[in-house]
Amino acid sequence: MARENPLTNYDFALARHQALMLVAGQVAISVAVALTCAVLIGAAAGLAALAGGGIGVAASLVQVAASFRRRAAQDARAIARGFYRGEALKIAVTVLLFVVLLRRGSLPPGPLLAGYVATFAAYWVALAGLVGGRAE
C-alpha cells in the first residue's frame, strides 16, 4: 500500500515493532561476532566482542524506550522530542558503558570495539529492507 504522506499515515506501533526487531538483529549479530572472535582469537576476545555488542544493544534499547513512548503516539511534537531524547540517552549510555568497561582493563579493546561496530550492520540490513520494499 503506497502512502502519499508518510507523516500523516505514520503507524507508531509498526515503527516501534520495527525498532525492536532491529535490536533483535543487533543481538544476533553480536552473538555471531562474539562466537567468531572466540573461535579465531580466544575466549577473552569472544567475551569482549559480546560486551561490545551488548553496549550497542543496550544503547539501542534505551533509545527505543525513550523514542516510542505510547503516550506520545498521537502528538508529532512529543514524537520528535522522544527521538531527540532517545538519541541523547543512547549516546550517554554508549559513552558510560565504554568508560566503565575500558577502565576495568580486563577486556581486549579491539574485539570490544569490533562487537560494538558490528551492531551497526543491523542498521544496514534494515535499510536494505526499507529500500527493497520489504519493511512493511
pLDDT tens-digit readout, 2-17: 445 454 456 777 878 8
Q: What is the pLDDT of residue 8?
A: 47
76: pLDDT strictly greater than 80: no
Q: Which three cell numbers stand for residue 70?
A: 505510547
First to last CA, the chain: 9
Mean residue pLDDT of the chain comes to 84
Q: Where are the domains of the chain?
A: 13-127
Structure confidence at residue 72 (pLDDT): 60
Largest CA distance in the chain: 53
Q: What's the mean pLDDT in 62-68?
A: 88
